[in-house]
Structure 1
Amino acid sequence: MKGTILSGVLAMTALPVSAADLAMIVGNGDYSGDRALSSGELPLRAVSDLEDAGVRVLQARNASSSALRDLAERFEEAADDGEGLVVVLSGRFLSTGQDTYFLPVDRSPDLAAGAAGALELSRRALPVSALLPILGEADGPALLVLATERGDRGTLSDGAAYLTRGLGQLPEDSGVTIVTGTPVAVAGLVTGLTDSGQSIASMVRGTPELTAVGEPPRRQPFLDTGGSSAGEDDRLWEVVRELDTVAAIELYLSRYPSGQHAGEARDRLAYLSDPARQAEATESALGLSGDQRREIQRNLSLLGYNTRGIDGIFGPGTRSAIGRFQEENGFTRSTYLTRDQILRLDDRAAVRAAEIEREDAERRRQREAQDNAFWQDTGEGRDETALRQYLDRYPDGLHSETARDRLAAIEARNRAQADEAENAHWARARSEDDVEGYRRYLEQHPNGRFEETARARIEELRQQGGQENRAAAAEEQALGLNAVTRRLIEQRLEGLGRNPGAVDGEFTDETRRALRQYQSDSGLPTSGYLNEPTVVRLLADSVRSLLD
């Protein structure tokens, strides 16, 4: 809308603008709340061109109610001395069905919502009907340009039934040329005011986003500054490059198909029109944060699409996973996400997370039933052999703490019954707590009182130091979990009824035991170490709150 609105308005008149001509341009974009209009200020770009042509310009940027009224009063006073008159209003509008009102930027939310009512609206906003008599008295051409976004229309959810957003019905018999358009279209129009090869009629005809009320004038040019078309070409291209949209570039090419920048324009248009580029730009416009990207990767992984990492970086693995998700869910494969696709992904992941919870609960119920049955079969740990059989089968079982406590009591009794030498050797083995120490004890006391305990501990140490455990530990380390994430994992384990020990970000034996229990219940490889599938499932229904 930068210079477009004004250019469009001026370009639509049939007579040249003289030194006595007068223009009023208002660009409102900084509306409060969610009604901001980023392109609302674009028509002000035309001010310098008009002033260079000898037009007196009254202008306002982001005008409040009082500033808008003051400017309109100044325009009315100065209009008596003006020959041609031009008014450009760019921003938000409301319609009562009888009139259209241009909204100020201050206190706009209640106006835009219709909460203020028609009377308050007429006091605080600028009615279009008030401008038409002033423009109609012009000795020369009279133009009114109203610029707003195409989608800024519709009924109000909370306001009066007679109020609607956007432009209402505009009169065709006012004697004033009226043009409406989108910001981009109007921006192109403004820059064409001094183009000797263009009339308002031709510009409206060649730009679908522009509409004239009635038949627009055909005289050309609207402004006659005596300049060359090269300057006009450059000025339009400057605006187009700043907007950098397909619509803006197409507008330039329709105006200057053989212009100085036509080649560059066509190259840029081809780039922006490429489907892959458009898909990339659509995702980029979402402004996804690192946390949001990690959540998307978590959701993809939860649904079985391997992203090869949950790190907030959309590399080849994530792009491939997105492509598969798109193909299997009826979307065109681009490997770049849209807002709708993210919402679909989130919904499907939430359903899958609930399924996982149910599956895990059922596995846990079955495991606990089997655990209790085996405990009963071994006579509830009637002796040391039975206790060790139970722990071999269920090292993290429901009765594992009881079994270990009983074994500790048995070891204490053995200490009391062993001779001084054997106790000393056993104490040393316990202190060293490694395979070599326990083997040395067994060589010294092959039938000693701590024989079973020594052999059981050797087996535990071998399992802990085995190749699989080393690989699992390395895989966990590769995740690069920080202390905050580790605490979140402990909190999640605690919330699931496991006992990970202190929630402090330090993974102790209790934490490893809780992880093994969770992995077993979830049908995951049981190692007691974290990997990507464990993290994805463990945080399946809590990651959103954890990352907020």
Structure 2
Amino acid sequence: MVRTMLSAAFAAAVTLAPAQAQDLGDIVGGVARQYLQQEQDRAAFAQAQSADTLSAYQSYLRQFPNGAYAEQARDRIQRLGGGTGVAPTNPSQTDTAGLSRQQRVQIQRQLNGLGYSTNGADGNFGPGTRRAIALWQRDRNYAQTGTLNAAQANEILQGTATTRPSTTAPAVGPAGNEADLGLNRQQRQAVQAGLTQRGFDTRGVDGVFGRGTRNAIAAWQRANDMEATGYLTAAQYDRLVGR
């Protein structure tokens, strides 16, 4: 329909006087820009629907705060536990502007230590960290925004939330068994060093069990005819650190 209108307008412009043609050309250009924006809006919302995650809908709203699908996006964010669904213009500025890089790294390490994987501890709050924050907030009955307010950042930095709330069911299965070991940072580093020495790359020996370490643990377990859970038992820990 829009293409037909544009074609007709271009054809009419050819037969008009130069001044009239210029006016019509401006109109056609405006229609074309509006059509392109509508298509971009539609494509962005379709992408958010495909992912169907809190961050995906928030990303859509940052691009199109008044888009044709903005209300649908806000409604879906609320259903996903994201509060009012009003996405900040730049979430990285809302919760990191007052934090040093060292503090951001410490927040990531604390989250990893609590079992919320940030996929690294480099001081950059990317998708992995946002997801970890949202899960941490969920388990504490906070609005699941994926961004930290000052009180929440201090709660993590001060280590006042070293364990999950008592209202949250304790972790079970392989993850729970590893959590029960209570490994400190040095012990985790020893595990990573043991895996690396055996040829299983953990992508760093930093005491943080991110995706690289989990994959390395699972690969080592498979190579030794164990169930490849990516989480350690007490016996496996002892074996890796050479005890």
TM-score by length of 1: 0.16
As a proportion of its length, which structure holds more helix?
A: 2
Q: Comparing both structures, which one devotes a greater share of its residues to strand?
A: 1
Using the size of structure 2 for normalisation, the TM-score is 0.34
Whichever of the two has the greater Rg, that structure is 1
